[in-house]
Structure 1
C-alpha cells in the first residue's frame, strides 16, 4: 500500500451537554448556554482548519436523562461538520440498552456521524480516508470496564486512531480507579496505533508514553469554575513527518 494521505483531526470530549438542566436560576442558565457555545466553537474550528475527522471521546452528554431537544441540538451541531465524525459513549452517557444513544437516532440527523456501539470493541474503516478507527462502548453495568482492552493489531499502513474514555494510570499509580487506562497499555500500542484520543479528564493532558501519542483533549468548557485547565480542544495532523498536535481555546 502507498503512504497514507495526510489527515487532520479535531479531538474533543467531556462536553456534558444538558448539565444543570434542572436548575433555571440565571447563573446556571448562562452556564448551560456557555457550554453549548463552546461546543459550537469546536465545530466551527473543525471546519475552519479543514479537518477531515472529528473525534468525540465520550461524555458528550452529562447524563442519560437529557431532553430530546438537547440530543437533537447536539446532532444538528455535529451535522454542521463538513467531514466525518466518530463518537464513543462515556460513563455519563453509556451505551446500556435503552440508553440515550438507543432512544435517539443522532445518525439520522448527522449523516456523517458514526457512533461506536460494540462493548467488545469496534473497528470502523471510513470510505474516502486512509484511516482506521477503533473504540469500545462503555456499559454502566460493566464494573470492570477497561477502555483499551482488546485493542487490535494494525491492519495496514493507514492511520490508526483509537478512542478511549477512562482514567490514565501511570506505572506504580493507584489501581482502585474505575475505567483504568494503564501506561503499559498505551506503550504496548507502539507500532500499531498512531494516536489514542482520550476523554474523561476535563483538563487537557498529554499522557503519551512508549512512543505512542495519547492525549486528553480537554473539555470545551469545565463543569465548574474550579477547573482552569479546560476550555480547549485538540487539533492533530498526520503526515509523512509523523503525528503533531496542538490545543485551541474554545471557551472565551
Structure 2
C-alpha cells in the first residue's frame, strides 16, 4: 500500500522581503502545490495523504485562505489527514474549531484532533499527535507511542507527528524534543510501521521508518533540501521490511544564496562574473536571491554593481542583502579623471574622497555612496539614466 507524506504547508506565510505583487505570487504557489501533490498522490496510487503539521501559518488565517486550500483538496479520491502543529495548534483560538474551516472542509479531509487511530480502510490506520499549544510540556510523539498498544495483526499503522528530533536538532527545546530512541523502541514493538514527521522543512531521513518530508515549497535560505513530498510504500505482506520512500520534487520557487568565492567582488571582472551567474539562474521571477558580498571596489565599479543590482531587483522575486556583506568602496583617480570637474565641484569631490578613506565608517559609507552617485549620473560616465 502507498500513501503520500507531506508537511509544513504554512498557508498564508508572509516574507518581509517580498513586495505585494511578489507576495501574491508566493501565496499562489503555496496553494497551487496542493493541487500538484494531490495529482501526484492519485497518479502514484496512494490511498491517503498525511500532513505532518503546520497546515496554516497561523490560527488567524482568513476565510479566503482556508477556502482556497480546501478547494484544492476537495474531490480527491482519497482521504487527507491534517495534523495541528506549532503554527496552528488545537487551542481555544484554533482555526480547526472555527466556522470558516467547518464551512470549507470537504468530506475527504480529516483533522487529527486526538490520539485515537483513524481507519483509512480495513488494514490501514492513521494516528496523530496534535499540538494543543505552541509550547508543549512534553514529547508529544513519545507520549502517544507510550500509550499505544501494538497494531493489530495485519494492520498497517502510520503515526503523524510534528517537532524536532534529538538526533537531528539537539539544540531545540529539550522539554518537547522527540527522543528518537523511544521512537525506535515503539517501532520495534510494532506500535507503528512508519512515522511521518513535520517541522523540519528539509527532507530528512531520521531512520528508515522515520522521515521528515520537508516543506513542498521552500521558505528560507537555510533549508538544505526543501520542495519535496514523499511517496511511501509499505509491504503489507511483510511488515518487517522497511518502507520504500520515494522523494518527488514539487516546488516551483527557489531560495539561492551567493556567497563565498561567488560573492567576492574586487573589480570589474568579478562584477561581470556575478552578472553571468545571475543571468544563468532559471525562473528568476520565482527565485529569491541573498547576496553575501565582500571586497573592495572603485567608485566606478561600485556604480556598475549598483546597475546590476537594480536590474536584478526587476528580474528576481527579491534580492536580499546578507547582514554579513561587506563591500568597501575606495575611490581612485580613474573614477574622476574623465569628469572634467573644476572649482567648487572639484573641491567637493576631494573632500568626499578624503571622507571615504577616513576612520569614521558611517561617514566613509555616506561619502562613498555620494561619489558613486556622482559617477553614475555623470553624462561622461556612460551610465546616465
Instruction: Using structure 2 for the length normalisation, give the TM-score.
Output: 0.58
Further displaced range: 136-145 or 187-196:
136-145
SS in 2 for 1:245: strand
Q: Name the structure 1 match of 2:182.
A: 185
**Which protein is richer in strand relative to its size?**
1
Gaps of 5+ in 2: 253-385
Supply the distance in 2 between the matched residues of 1:17 and 1:96 (Cα, whole angstroms).
Answer: 18
CA contact (8 A) 1:78 1:113 kept: yes
Which residue of 58, 63, 66 corresponds with 2:61?
66
1:233 pairs with 2:226:
no
Q: Contact between 2:66 and 2:101, CA under 8 Å: does it hold in 1?
A: no
C-alpha displacement at 1:93, in angstroms? 0.7
Task: Pick the aligned partner of 2:132 from 133, 139, 145.
Answer: 139
**1:116-127 to 2 correspondence within 5 Å?**
116-118=112-114, 121-126=115-120
- Number of equivalent positions: 240
The aligned counterpart of 1:199 is 198
Between Structure 1 and Structure 2, which shows a larger proportion of helix residues? Answer: 2
What SS does structure 2 have at the residue aligned with 1:80? coil
After superposition, the C-alpha distances for 1:94-137 in whole angstroms (9 at most, x for unaligned) are 1002310000345863202211112xx222123x3411211122
Q: Per-residue deviation at 1:16?
A: 0.8
Distance 1:171 1:75 in 2: 32
CA offsets, 1:178-225, max 9 Å, x none? 6311111211112321000000000000001xxx60000111012124
**1:27 matched to 2:50:** no
Return 134-143 or 196-205, whichever deviates more. Answer: 134-143
Q: Relative to structure 1, is the Cα distance of residues 66 and 183 closer, same or farther in structure 2, using a 3 angstrom cutoff?
A: same
Evaluate the alpha carbon distance shift between residue 15 and residue 130 of structure 1 in structure 2; reply closer, same or farther with a 3 A threshold. Answer: same
Tell me how far apart the structure 2 counterparts of residues 188 and 216 of structure 1 sit (CA, whole Å).
19
2:218 is the counterpart of 1:222 = yes
- 2:184 corresponds to 1:168: no
Structure 1: 4+ residue segments shifted above 3 A: 21-24, 104-109, 171-179
Seen in structure 2, the aligned counterparts of structure 1 residues 144 and 86 have a Cα distance that, compared at 3 Å, is same
Counterpart contact for 2:84–2:90, Cα < 8 Å: yes
Seen in structure 2, the aligned counterparts of structure 1 residues 147 and 27 have a Cα distance that, compared at 3 Å, is same
Give the TM-score normalised by structure 1: 0.86
- Aligned residue number for residue 280 of structure 2: none
Q: Is the 8 A contact 2:34 2:73 kept in 1?
A: no
Q: Structure 1 stretch 101-110 or stretch 48-57: which is displaced more?
A: 101-110
Pair 228,25 (structure 1): closer, same or farther in 2 beyond 3 Å: farther
With over 3 angstroms needed to count, the CA separation of the structure-2 counterparts of 1:86 and 1:18, relative to structure 1, is same
1:84 pairs with one of 69, 72, 79: 79
Which shifted more, 94-103 or 27-36? 27-36
Describe the shift of the 1:47–1:167 C-alpha distance in structure 2 as closer, same or farther (beyond 3 A).
same
Contact 1:164 1:197 in 2 (8 A): yes
For CA contacts below 8 A with separation 6 or more, give which structure has more relative contact order.
Answer: 1
Partner SS, residue 132 of structure 1: strand
Indicate the SS of the match to 1:168: coil
Larger radius of gyration: 2
Q: Which residue of 2 aligns with 1:38?
A: 33
Matching residue of 1:4: none
